[in-house]
Amino acid sequence: MEELAPLLWIVAIALIFWLLIIRPAQRRQKEIARVQASIAPGETVVLTSGIFGTVVSTDDGSLMVEIAPGVAVKVARGAVGSVVRPEEAAAVDSADEAGEAPAEDAADQAPDADNEER
């Protein structure tokens, strides 16, 4: 039995590694592949480069994404990082049109209490 103890430790470590790292990564990869395969025209997507756009048309391995009015680029399906839900897309569009800064930036622009006149 003493000869099996080191082998059991190696097997236990490999099992823990698989459960904590490999299995969740495989699930995320399958989910991303499912999302990329189900993209349809009219959906708002975020590319892995951080660019927001609207899908104009789809091919087998590529998409035409409109990133500005009248500007469409052809990208690989793998370049899509996520699909933006309609309520999220409306919030992003309204903030862009209003020229509003994100809430974190607005706090940085507020005058400091230490600089008050005394």
Cα atoms in the Cβ-side hemisphere of radius 13 Å centred on 77: 16
The reported pLDDT for the residue numbered 89 is 58
Place of tokens 């495989």: 26
Residues forming a β-bridge with 58: 63
User: Is residue 49 located within the same domain as residue 24?
Assistant: no
User: Is residue 60 located within the same domain as residue 10?
Assistant: no
The reported pLDDT for the residue numbered 20 is 92
The reported pLDDT for the residue numbered 106 is 47
The reported pLDDT for the residue numbered 61 is 87
User: Is residue 44 located within the same domain as residue 95?
Assistant: yes
CB atoms within 10 A of CB 78: 12
User: Is residue 31 located within the same domain as residue 7?
Assistant: yes
List the domain range (segments joined by +) for residue 5.
1-38
Q: Are 62 and 79 in contact (CB under 8 A)?
A: no
User: Is residue 26 located within the same domain as residue 64?
Assistant: no
**Which is nearest to 83 in space by CA: 41, 43, 33?**
43
User: Is residue 77 located within the same domain as residue 89?
Assistant: yes
pTM: 0.58
Reading the chain (118 residues) residue by residue, the pLDDT tens digits are 678 888 899 999 999 999 999 999 999 999 988 988 889 999 999 999 999 999 999 998 899 999 999 999 999 999 999 999 877 656 666 666 665 554 544 445 555 555 556 5
